[in-house]
Amino acid sequence: MSKNESLGPSAPLTILQYPIGTFRCPEVVNDDLIQNWIDAIAVLPAQVEQEIHGWADHQLDTPYRPHGWTVRQVVHHLADSHHHSYIRFKWALTEENPLIKAYDEKEWAALVDARTAPVSLALQHLKAVHARLVYLLSGLSSEQLARTFTHPETGTVHRLDENIGRYAWHGSHHLAHILNLKARMGWS
């Protein structure tokens, strides 16, 4: 089965849900890889904006998979999630292995702003957050990149260098949702 066939109307839910797979941090995280991740974070807002440019409300309100979020919710989720990420980086840089605050992303996506607000608001927010995040990440030393935070729900300790990769993946993951829906629906 080809990749395109796997994304057809009867595509398995896991492929629709995780079109680029789940995040797996490489065993070796070097400066080049970190820079590639930062570059991916830097261009994400423009990529999302380009892909949904000119879409009508019915397109933005189409779920990317059965029982999934709409494109509008995905764009608002990216802004919310990456805002949280920015704050988590700042906490880890200013506190010793802080226990971060988790949030219920499904409940946030169900709120009126994520369901109905213009995507332009989320795109403006995403652009601003990414500009600040990229500026911050580009100036971190190797010692700062090794700092950590702990996730309260899993107890997992996250290193900042690996977290850059996690959010580069996260952006690409949701961009792939949009691209795959666009291809399946034949939208330009």
Burial class (CB in 10 A: 0-12, 13-18, 19+), 157: exposed
Q: Distance (Å, rounded) from C-alpha 88 to C-alpha 145? A: 13
Amino acid identity, position 4: N
CATH 3.90.180.10 fits 57-188, yes or no: no
Q: Distance (Å, rounded) from C-alpha 149 to C-alpha 166? A: 14
Whole-number CA gyration radius for the chain: 17
Tokens of 178: 């949009």
Q: What is the pLDDT of residue 11?
A: 61
Q: How far is CA 53 from the centre of its chain?
A: 19
Low-confidence ranges of the chain (pLDDT < 70): 1-11
Give residue-wise pLDDT tens across range 143-184. 999 999 999 999 999 999 999 999 999 999 999 999 999 999
Q: What is the pLDDT of residue 1?
A: 33
